[in-house]
Structure 1
């Protein structure tokens, strides 16, 4: 029995199997993305909720002006993990991101674990982000005299007098339609949105820098170094987008060259912008005044630049929209990849004959996220999404190290420098941040994985493509 169990838990896909899957006509996705598209895809996912929402909360409650160092710590942890992502994405130009890397490096069971974890990361992030979008959108309409009725702007669980959050449902529906039409169209909309929100971020930097008062940076570490790490654990949510770039490998024209550029380029640009905004934000206003869902707009108001609030709010809406676009895209590709391997029902890997997009996966994600965003409360969702992302980063780093030793001859168009030490450092950095999260978050993660284990042992292991191949032989 033990041998039988181990045989299916650790069965692996080969590189040849991975590459042949991408050529099968019934699963074929359209290759349209370039390095510039990938950088924009990454920035589209990264710059949004973190810079426009979480920066103020993390500064006020956790790190003070030391939030700049929190971004350095979180960015460094992500950079170390990103190096592993870049190597693996250049080796395996296939949808599914870490899920497929784990399938080749560590076997089917751990691939299921990481795939289920990625579904947690993307699908639970979408409703939370859409509620942030809804808040900014409602406020922007209110500023020009258009007031959405209270019953239509929140559910009863989200605010008193609420019934349904129509703006949150509306933006998720629009994002679902864009993903349904095709990746090229999604990328074009994303590129335009990224250009605008980077303009707004630069506008804030060059407008507000003249109002910086160095006295606001004192004390620089009011909560000590523990506050810096607690702040990093919260704003880690701001970085979760760069790994979504790796889910686009199968739809990239030259993945071996372009995936590392897209992953590392988007992460580097975003980190520099984050540090600049957080330094200026805590320099123009005392960190004690930044506990606000729209800290950038509030800071502009407090220094007398109320005329700029509308532009920043519009930038925030655009920024959060592009995050939703990329997160939605990534979630459907994970489900598509798991279905193609037989671990989820085959209907989820059927692609539209014209648009070449995974239709049923898009329906599933769209309906589930709209129901959650429209009616349910989203409490502590950032921590839950963060812990799922951190686990994905750890498993990606482990997979890179394992493949270096078990399959050293595989072609690597990009080699992560300093292996295995960069991988080990990534694991240690991310573990420190995971420990900084509340114990309740760990409990929720365990519950999610118990559900996943029932699905794997009840369905996935019996219907796996590898299981069927073993039966035939």
Structure 2
């Protein structure tokens, strides 16, 4: 068989469905929403509404969040249909293998590896910073040597808190999803309660005059704000990676994916309304706008509670992304495109080999590397996956061998095409350095595929 034919042959959906029967099915719709909300609502909810209002949209940042959610909703519905039709591990990677062929599947998987791992490493650094500030409130200070990436010139050698939190989460996940889900659900509840505390307390300090002018930067400001806050919603796609561990996936996966977006949008918009009502938008271009609003209202005690909420938000995001990346690497290893040991399950039906490898890589990145200039790569990895999933709905609908009794994208084929075009439009807004770095990353991926993956693939192909 020629190399090109191998690259373009489509994987057997039945092979995937049979392989993934081995997982324990323990997740319900509420667990999926907790995973999704845990990924989408992080520390950003306490930052983006303020900074985007100050620099892009003014009080109309509320509309920016709604527009961004509508854009994400188009991709979310495409994910929901795929997850309902193909409840298999690997999320968009596996969908790509089945509807486009092995090479496109690999490209999507390689993009998702970038998204998940880099996102966790970046957030672990943020968690470390918040934790250090939290300790300073009690007069405690971490030594400089263990408070930053490896940079002897600045006297920092490792971000130890970031490394420790990654390994603690991985240890919890290695014990199975029953325990992990309970802990994650509890943290999500804490986080939402803290957001509600801010909303309820902040409402008493809202001054309606602060909402005037509502759109000081005009319509272009609203749309520029939407492009910026779009990335606040990323993470809902990770829900689909849990498919083989979900009870009644045709019903529960769409609820988990779309429900995550609905709850996240409501929370983002209400926080934006309260924040811009408490403080004139021009004053909110700071690293911690919510804390500033509370301090200006002489509510320092609530500001401390918000710090706990921010840390809870980052923890739940890391739980979802480490979980998702381990399932993704398992799926690629299961197919032979990475070493097959990564695609094995232990006696408890858990992919702990892939979890270990993922944890080592993420902790090295988060603990030793300065990620500031690489963080935007998360966006391009996500948008590539969104684009292929949106386009993939068209060949998926044409498959007569795949039965979907669950969710289907409304307005087919117009809505999937709109979703694809929106993803491509957002890609054009990314910086040149992001495109250069992504070319290097995908070049490395192509080399690995052509030198290893294509020769070790054990995928059964469609007849």
TM bucket by the smaller chain?
over 0.9
Which residue number corresponds to residue 61 of structure 1?
Answer: 55
* Aligned-residue CA RMSD (Å): 2.1
Q: Which runs of 5+ in 1 are unaligned?
A: none
Measured against aligned partners, the alpha-carbon deviations of 1:324-362 in whole angstroms (never above 9, x if no partner) come to 0001001111110011011111011122223x2212211
Q: Answer whether contact 1:237 1:385 (CA < 8 A) is retained.
A: no
The CA distance in 2 between the partners of 1:318 and 1:277, in whole Å, is: 17
Measured against aligned partners, the alpha-carbon deviations of 1:25-53 in whole angstroms (never above 9, x if no partner) come to xxx22211111111111111111132133
Q: How far apart are residue 379 of structure 1 and its match?
A: 1.5
Q: How far apart are residue 305 of structure 1 and its match?
A: 0.8
Q: Answer whether contact 1:232 1:433 (CA < 8 A) is retained.
A: no
The alpha-carbon distance between structure 1 residues 361 and 309, as it changes in their structure 2 partners (threshold 3 A), is: same
Q: Answer whether contact 1:229 1:433 (CA < 8 A) is retained.
A: no
Q: How far apart are residue 78 of structure 1 and its match?
A: 0.9
Which residue number corresponds to residue 414 of structure 1?
Answer: 407
Which residue number corresponds to residue 123 of structure 2?
Answer: 129
TM-score of the two chains, using structure 2 as the length reference: 0.95
1:466 and 2:435 aligned? no
Question: What pairs up with 1:329-408 in 2 under 5 angstroms?
Answer: 329-354=323-348, 356-407=349-400
Which residue number corresponds to residue 279 of structure 1?
Answer: 273
Which residue number corresponds to residue 21 of structure 1?
Answer: 19
Which residue number corresponds to residue 154 of structure 1?
Answer: 148
Select which of 71, 77, 100 maps to 2:65: 71
Measured against aligned partners, the alpha-carbon deviations of 1:170-204 in whole angstroms (never above 9, x if no partner) come to 11111111111112211111100011101011111
Which residue number corresponds to residue 100 of structure 2?
Answer: 106
1:288 and 2:286 aligned? no
The alpha-carbon distance between structure 1 residues 373 and 119, as it changes in their structure 2 partners (threshold 3 A), is: same
Which residue number corresponds to residue 12 of structure 1?
Answer: 10
Select which of 303, 315, 319 maps to 1:309: 303
Question: What pairs up with 1:136-175 in 2 under 5 angstroms?
Answer: 136-155=130-149, 157=151, 160-175=154-169
The alpha-carbon distance between structure 1 residues 447 and 54, as it changes in their structure 2 partners (threshold 3 A), is: farther
Q: Answer whether contact 1:125 1:381 (CA < 8 A) is retained.
A: no
The alpha-carbon distance between structure 1 residues 229 and 407, as it changes in their structure 2 partners (threshold 3 A), is: farther
Select which of 212, 215, 223 maps to 2:209: 215
- Structure 1 window deviating more from structure 2 (200-209 vs 62-71): it is 62-71
Q: How far apart are residue 158 of structure 1 and its match?
A: 11
- Say which SS state the counterpart of residue 149 (structure 2) adopts: coil
1:297 and 2:291 aligned? yes
- Structure 1 window deviating more from structure 2 (143-152 vs 81-90): it is 143-152
Select which of 173, 177, 182 maps to 2:171: 177
Which residue number corresponds to residue 322 of structure 1?
Answer: 316
Q: Answer whether contact 1:49 1:238 (CA < 8 A) is retained.
A: no
- Say which SS state the counterpart of residue 294 (structure 2) adopts: helix
Q: Answer whether contact 2:114 2:381 (CA < 8 A) is retained.
A: yes
Select which of 445, 450, 453 maps to 1:452: 445
Measured against aligned partners, the alpha-carbon deviations of 1:245-299 in whole angstroms (never above 9, x if no partner) come to 1000100111111101111111101111011112221221233332333322222
Q: How far apart are residue 466 of structure 1 and its match?
A: 3.0
Question: What pairs up with 1:434-453 in 2 under 5 angstroms?
Answer: 434-453=427-446
The CA distance in 1 between the partners of 2:221 and 2:382, in whole Å, is: 21
Select which of 240, 243, 246 maps to 2:237: 243
The alpha-carbon distance between structure 1 residues 380 and 298, as it changes in their structure 2 partners (threshold 3 A), is: farther
- Say which SS state the counterpart of residue 376 (structure 2) adopts: helix
The alpha-carbon distance between structure 1 residues 150 and 55, as it changes in their structure 2 partners (threshold 3 A), is: farther
Q: How far apart are residue 384 of structure 1 and its match?
A: 1.4
The CA distance in 2 between the partners of 1:321 and 1:74, in whole Å, is: 24
Q: How far apart are residue 225 of structure 1 and its match?
A: 3.7
The alpha-carbon distance between structure 1 residues 221 and 447, as it changes in their structure 2 partners (threshold 3 A), is: farther
The CA distance in 2 between the partners of 1:229 and 1:384, in whole Å, is: 22
Q: Which runs of 5+ in 2 are unaligned?
A: none
The CA distance in 2 between the partners of 1:159 and 1:46, in whole Å, is: 36
Q: Answer whether contact 2:91 2:241 (CA < 8 A) is retained.
A: yes
Measured against aligned partners, the alpha-carbon deviations of 1:139-170 in whole angstroms (never above 9, x if no partner) come to 11111222222222223549944332111111
Q: Answer whether contact 1:87 1:412 (CA < 8 A) is retained.
A: no
Q: Answer whether contact 1:29 1:250 (CA < 8 A) is retained.
A: yes
The CA distance in 2 between the partners of 1:288 and 1:149, in whole Å, is: 36
Measured against aligned partners, the alpha-carbon deviations of 1:44-86 in whole angstroms (never above 9, x if no partner) come to 1111132133433333333333322221122111111111111
Q: Answer whether contact 1:82 1:243 (CA < 8 A) is retained.
A: yes
TM-score of the two chains, using structure 1 as the length reference: 0.93
The CA distance in 2 between the partners of 1:57 and 1:109, in whole Å, is: 40
Q: How many residues align?
A: 463
The CA distance in 2 between the partners of 1:181 and 1:330, in whole Å, is: 15
